């Protein structure tokens, strides 16, 4: 059903590309998903107006417009939740980076201060920082899994929207002089759903790579 | 990193600087430590690049859990961009820095360390066996800027005031004031924006009994060179870029 689904190239996260950039890219893709979901909502409002004008000729189209609107609302709500999660993930990325950096520098201090009178006092700080780093790393991995699962949820309304778009085309074909307007609505919904699907797919690909690397 | 003890009494002042491993493209800085029997204050602990050599050097004089206080004269990266790392190493320490810069300095990472805000009129840092005075030096060069005066050791930490730009590895004290002037001139004329602020600072500092004036870059001034510096700075027109 989906033209590019499994063959769509995922957002590239090469080992050299920092986790920061990857997480920020995911946030940017999600922001685009939100915009597209709003477009679907607008398309639903337009379709409703056209169907109302078309009267009996577009009787089958009227309930479809409500479905489209519901799907758009559902997507917006899901993306809002995901955005909060993505923000948490970004903060954790910063925190983890700082701790990793601290561990690295502490190890450097330990190596260069071997002869210092109080060198041993660093041991506890180093252990505590390593522990905090490990905790943070675990928390990060947990958030990646949760975010992956939420992104899977967003795929459902996008898939449903494409089914509805197919039905809309059939109903539009019986709407006489309103055929073109309603077909345009169906195309617009179909296109938006495809974009959402592709973007979410990219996000999942990038997240999986971060999760694997983490 | 070179360590120079500049005061030894019931407590110590130690100057750290001239790090031979410092990357060439970052400005050289002087860090100072006040070490009492149970506590340790790091004055302008430096940038991220300096964190490891600085902590390694301090461990010669104090264990980690006795490094209790940090002071930042102002917000510049060469002063305190290492804060996020100290925050991990010394989660129970206090950072004494301008109230005005709190929201800015926290960008470096300050989740565990307690931020002790300094009001515009200064304050004190009490280390138990010694109480240090925090002296306002606003607009010299930062808009919220502080120096530290130790009346017992007669040491005045002057931040960027008295700083000089010169080649690495130079001596830590000024040896020939007249020859040193040209290494300070542009720095003060360009980084210090206000003649009015400069005059107010000189009036305040002339009233203090100072043996050593210790800047954050370049060399320290001792004895008569302290007065020579104040006279020279008083006559200098600053804020030349407008």
Pairing of strands B114-118, B94-98: parallel
Q: In what order do the strands lie in the sheet with B131-136?
A: B123-126, B131-136, B146-150, B155-159, B212-215, B221-222
Q: List, for residues A162-209, the tens digit of each pLDDT value.
A: 888 888 888 878 778 888 888 888 888 888 888 888 888 888 888 887
Instruction: Let me know if residue A65 belongs to a domain.
Output: yes
DSSP assigned state of B220? B
pLDDT < 70 positions in chain B: none
Please check whether residue B206 is in contact with residue B150, taking contact to mean a CB–CB distance below 8 angstroms.
Answer: no
Number of domains in chain A: 1
The answer to whether residue A7 sits within a structural domain is no
Which residues of A fall within a CB distance of 8 Å from B109? 98
Strand ordering across the sheet containing B67-71: B2-8, B12-17, B31-35, B40-43, B67-71, B94-98, B114-118
pLDDT digits (tens, 9 = 90+) for A61-78: 777 888 888 888 888 888
The answer to whether residue A35 sits within a structural domain is: yes
Write the residue in B53, B61, B109 that is nearest to A98 by C-beta: B109
Q: Which residues of A touch B (CB under 8 A)?
A: 98-99, 101-102, 105-106, 108-109, 112-113, 116-122, 124-125, 128-129, 132
Between the two ends of chain A, the Cα-to-Cα distance in Å is 33
Cβ contact A142:A23 at 8 Å: no
With respect to residue A24, please indicate whether it lies within any of the assigned structural domains: yes
CB contact under 8 A, A105 and B65: no
Answer yes or no: do A106 and B89 touch at CB < 8 A: yes
**Residue A13 counted as domain residue:** no
User: Could B109 and A117 be called an inter-chain contact, meaning their C-beta atoms sit closer than 8 Å?
Assistant: no
Q: Which residue range is the domain that position A154 belongs to?
A: 18-96+137-213
Spatial separation of the C-alpha atoms in residues A79 and A75, rounded to whole Å:
6
In a domain, A113, yes or no: no
| Chain A closest-CA separation from residue B59 CA (Å) | 5
**Could you tell me if A125 and A106 are in contact, meaning their C-beta atoms sit under 8 angstroms apart?**
yes
Residue A10 lies in a domain: no
Q: Which residue of B has its CA nearest to A99?
A: B88
Chain B residues with CB-CB distance to A106 below 8 A: 88-89
Q: Can you state the angle between helices B224-235 and B177-191, rounded to 10 degrees? A: 40
Q: With respect to residue A43, please indicate whether it lies within any of the assigned structural domains.
A: yes
Q: Which residues pair with B15 in a beta bridge?
A: B4, B32
Which of A51, A82, A18 is closest to A182 using CA atoms? Answer: A51
Enumerate the residues of chain B whose CB falls inside 8 A of the CB of residue A124. 64-65
pLDDT tens digits, one per residue of A77-90: 888 888 888 888 88
Q: Pick the closest to residue B162 from B102, B58, B73 (CA basis).
A: B73
Predicted confidence at residue A211, as pLDDT, reads 64
% chain A with pLDDT above 70: 90
Q: What domains are there in chain B, each with its CATH number?
A: 2-235 (3.60.15.10)
């Amino acid at each position: 059903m989906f033209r590019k689904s499994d063959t769509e190239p995922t957002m590239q996260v090469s080992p050299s590309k920092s986790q920061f950039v990857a997480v920020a890219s995911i946030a940017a893709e999600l922001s685009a998903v939100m915009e597209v979901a709003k477009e679907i909502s607008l398309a639903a409002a337009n379709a409703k107006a056209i169907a109302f004008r078309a009267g009996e000729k577009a009787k089958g189209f009227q309930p479809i417009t409500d479905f489209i609107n519901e799907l758009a609302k559902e997507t917006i709500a899901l993306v809002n939740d995901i955005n909060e999660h993505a923000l948490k993930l970004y903060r954790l990325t910063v925190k983890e980076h700082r701790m990793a950096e601290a561990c690295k520098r502490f190890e450097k201090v330990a190596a260069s201060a071997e002869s210092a009178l109080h060198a041993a006092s660093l041991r506890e700080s180093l252990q505590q920082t390593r522990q905090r780093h490990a905790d943070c790393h675990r928390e990060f991995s947990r958030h990646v899994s949760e975010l992956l699962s939420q992104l899977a949820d967003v795929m459902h309304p996008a898939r449903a929207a494409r089914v509805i778009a197919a039905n809309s085309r059939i109903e539009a074909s019986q709407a006489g002089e309103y055929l073109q307007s309603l077909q345009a609505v169906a195309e617009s919904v179909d296109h938006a759903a495809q974009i959402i699907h592709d973007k979410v797919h990219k996000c999942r690909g990038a997240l999986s790579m971060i999760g694997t690397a983490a | 990193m070179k360590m120079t003890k500049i005061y030894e009494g019931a407590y110590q002042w130690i100057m750290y600087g001239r790090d031979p491993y410092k990357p060439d493209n970052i400005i050289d800085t002087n860090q100072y430590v006040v070490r009492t029997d149970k506590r340790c204050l790091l004055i302008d602990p430096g940038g991220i690049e300096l964190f490891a050599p600085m902590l390694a050097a301090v461990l010669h004089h104090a264990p980690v859990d006795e490094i209790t206080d940090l002071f930042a004269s102002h917000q510049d990266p060469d002063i305190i961009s290492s804060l996020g790392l100290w925050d991990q190493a010394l989660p129970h320490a206090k950072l004494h820095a301008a109230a005005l810069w709190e929201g800015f300095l926290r960008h470096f990472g300050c989740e565990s360390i307690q931020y002790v805000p300094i009001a515009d009129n200064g304050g004190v840092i009490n280390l138990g066996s010694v109480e240090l005075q925090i002296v306002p030096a606003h607009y010299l060069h930062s808009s919220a800027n502080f120096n530290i005066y130790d009346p017992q050791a007669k040491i005045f930490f002057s931040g960027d005031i008295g700083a000089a730009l010169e080649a690495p590895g130079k001596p830590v004290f000024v040896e020939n004031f007249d020859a040193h002037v040209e290494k300070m001139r542009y720095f003060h004329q360009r980084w210090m924006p206000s003649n009015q602020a400069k005059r107010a600072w000189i009036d305040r500092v002339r009233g203090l009994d100072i043996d050593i004036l210790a800047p954050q870059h370049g060399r320290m001034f001792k004895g008569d060179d302290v007065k020579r510096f104040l006279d020279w700075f008083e006559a200098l027109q600053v804020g030349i870029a407008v």
